[in-house]
Amino acid sequence: MTDRPRLHVSAAQLRPLLPLLAGLLVAVATWLAWTGFQQSRDAQRSGALGQARDQVVQGTSRALLAQADSMQKGLAAPEVQAALASGDLDGAATQLKAVLQRADSVEFLPTDLDAAYAALPEGSFGRLAVSEAALAEGGAVSRIVKDDGIHLAVAAPVLAGERLVAVAYARLPLALATTALQAAELGGGTYLALRQGNFTLAERGNVALVDSAEYLSAPIEGTGLRVAAAVPEETEGAFGLGAMASFIAAGVLVLVAIGAWFAWRRKPGEAGDDEAAPSELTMAEALEQGSAQAAPAAGGSTAASPMAAATGAVAAGATAAAAAATGGGLPVDPGIFRAYDIRGVLGKTLDAGVAELIGRAIGSLMQEQGANDIVVGRDGRLSGPDLVAGLTEGLRKAGRNVIDIGMVPTPVVYFATYHLHTGCGVAVTGSHNPPDYNGFKIMVGGKTLSGEAITDLYERIAQDRLHLAESRGTLAQRDVSDDYIARIASDVQVDRPIKVVVDAGNGVAGELGPRVLQAIGAQVVPLYCEIDGTFPNHHPDPSEPHNLEDLIARVQAEDAEVGIAFDGDGDRLGVVTRDGRIVFPDRLLMLFAADVLERNPGAVIVYDVKCSGRLQQHILRHGGSPLMWRTGHSLIKTKMREVEAELAGEMSGHFFFAERWYGFDDGLYAAARLLEILTQQAESPTFVLNSLPDGVSTPEIKVPAPGEDPHGFVDRFRATASFEGARTSTIDGLRVDWPDGWGLVRASNTTPVLVMRFDAESGEALARIQGEFKRQLLAIEPGLALPF
């Protein structure tokens, strides 16, 4: 056998490389020294910014306290007290304005604030919020408010002797609150801002850093304000080294480079030079061996992976199902394209062929927006697999890449659009409707489709404006359930053990719902958590009180602290207490709002037209800005983005958290946040929930619409109804508010029914309001079957 050739390298042969090595070491040392310098500079800049931020916090706090102190001294002034003693509130306000020389206006409001509430929404939410805060704290309070522009406002209780007679409200220039920020010394490229809630009142420096400034923010205690700060992205040390370690490493490398240089300069044959012992390297052997290992066996074949085989099988199944449905499919009914989703009855208005056309329409919209990837998930209805197959086929024909995440709650589909960075998703779900219903909740480009965007999908199909790609999109499977649970558990944990019963109504939340609550530390007793698309125990709709009867009984039997109910696709939440009371969602929203407003004073809270009038007052009393809007999950999400709200809720049980979450409706996450709040209280959950403001109210009342046309009936009712002495709103249907209660009639966007709700301060007021509505409803449609 012939010996393989060997590579012999001697010290003499390496000598010419020493200058190159020295140069390389100097280059690396220079790089280390430079990054060390940059890190040192960044640290100095961050330290200086922190000092500037703290000075702004202290300066702004002093300025606001000075204005509050001036208000208190002004109210105690002899001329103001003299006017108050004579009962001349207008005169007292004039005297106070003379004392508060920087005030733009001063007014005294009645302590009940009824006139200010009645002026909403045209009036100022901020004026009410600061006035309520002053009454609650019993002293002067400073806030930044939106009242004919952005201003500094100071409010304080007005006493005539020991008697509370009014609330003083003064509006001052915003500049009084921003002086410290404007005077701060900023280093190069840094950023400072004065913020309240989501609103930036004033800012200085590098505005490109606006989105990263919350990380270094510091609150101004007792004001609801904070100072946000940011520095440019800091230099990352070479090899993960800090500044000092970089300098030391650079010095060591320079010394080694000097040694290499002198070794090169030394003449051959001097001490330390050894040419007699060659270094044998088996490089050729290693290369030859590596090549042999890399070469495939002759005549071998490459087997397809199990995942590839499975993906191909699913794709083939989807294609076959869609092709079969299209062959004798249903015509596309425009009636299934609703206000905020697509929904129909299987075999009548919906099948796999219709789903394929909807998929092509969604894919065409994505193609126009430059979106390629889309998440698809489904609930536990029996028709789900066929509809997913048809939808997937249509999306792939439009060239879109489908990520199938399987049978999951609708919120998990929304989560996956963020987690997988697609911005697009479709949940195939019938929500809380009967088993033969199914439908599609659609997100494209990060926005849930509603209104005209839904109608446009039908028009694309009707006009055959459907994109057909040259090559089909791909299909992949992905399980994100563990990621979803981990994301919630990383943000929410209970403060103490709490025992809860979870009723999923055999809906798709039955598997993940208990797991989420267990992950945050709760002890869960499952009820009807086996996923069954026939819903054998009760309908999965927690807004109907009779669907909660089994949950109430189980909570009491298990001696649990609270009961949690989810709807069919897990995006809605119902709650019952240990003593058997149903906590309506508008009262739950009060609890959520108070919690969110502790960290985000002045934040906008959106609620739908079916919520109690007490909710508005509760939000204002906790320093928030209430905004009533139309019912519908996609409509609420759109409004939230428009007004940058931190929280929203609907009477149906949809809750939308933008604070600490993504802003979509999520019954599972809302349940976790509820348990977090309840375990932070010293009182029992039953006490906390029963203590929320309450009156006399009805649940949602659903009445079959004449001619199955709820929108047409509501249009007629709005045109003819007349309620004297009341304030009306036509945001969604007709809502009529009196000082002691309100009533609502609106058209359902999901089923052919009229939705009504009534709420009042007393049983007598409720009966009067219902009677007035009944009289006018029957005047239009005498045969209307009203249950009141």
Beta bridge partners of 725: none
- For 327, the enclosing helix (H) or strand (E) is helix 306-327
Which of 124, 131, 364, 431 is the catalytic position? 431
Q: How far apart (Å, rounded) are the C-alpha atoms in residues 734 and 139?
A: 40
Token couple for 510: 């039955």
Instruction: Decide: helix, strand or coil at residue 56.
Output: helix
Q: How far apart (Å, rounded) are the C-alpha atoms in residues 344 and 334?
A: 10
CA atoms within 13 A on the CB side of 311: 16
Say what angle helices 352-369 and 452-462 make with each other, to 10 degrees: 110
For residue 664, what are the CA distances in angstroms to 75, 313, 574, 616? Answer: 47, 33, 17, 22
Which of 53, 143, 171, 343 is the catalytic position? 343
Residue 73, C-beta contacts closer than 8 angstroms, at least 6 positions apart: 99
Which of 654, 673, 735, 757 is the catalytic position? 654
768 is catalytic: no
Residue 375, C-beta contacts closer than 8 angstroms, at least 6 positions apart: 403, 405, 413, 416, 417, 420, 422, 424, 425, 426
Token couple for 655: 């809750």
621 is catalytic: no
Question: Does residue 265 contact residue 19 with C-beta atoms inside 8 Å?
Answer: no
For residue 36, give the amino acid letter. G
634 burial type by CB count under 10 A (0-12 exposed, 13-18 middle, 19+ buried): buried
* Residue in 31, 24, 22 with CA at minimum distance from that of residue 241: 31
Residue with token string 């010290």 = 11
3-state DSSP of 57-119: HHHHHHHHHHHHHHHHHHHHCHHHHHHHHCCCHHHHHHHHHHHCCCCCEEEEECCCCHHHHHC
Token couple for 263: 């070794």
Beta bridge partners of 458: none
For residue 563, what are the CA distances in angstroms to 545, 589, 649? Answer: 13, 17, 19
* Residue in 779, 721, 763 with CA at minimum distance from that of residue 745: 721
3-state DSSP of 638-652: HHHHHHCCCEEECCC
Token couple for 24: 């390389």
Question: Does residue 170 contact residue 105 with C-beta atoms inside 8 Å?
Answer: yes
Instruction: Decide: helix, strand or coil at residue 323.
Output: helix
Pairing of strands 225-230, 191-196: antiparallel
543 is catalytic: no
Question: Does residue 379 contact residue 507 with C-beta atoms inside 8 Å?
Answer: yes
Residue with token string 């939808």 = 391
Question: Does residue 749 contact residue 340 with C-beta atoms inside 8 Å?
Answer: yes
Q: How far apart (Å, rounded) are the C-alpha atoms in residues 255 and 589?
A: 68
Q: How far apart (Å, rounded) are the C-alpha atoms in residues 514 and 455?
A: 37
Question: Does residue 340 contact residue 635 with C-beta atoms inside 8 Å?
Answer: yes
Look at the alpha carbons of 267, 271, 273, 276 in this order and tell me if their dihedral is positive or negative: positive
Token couple for 266: 């030394």
* Residue in 720, 718, 705, 710 with CA at minimum distance from that of residue 784: 705
* Catalytic residue positions, numbered: 343, 431, 654
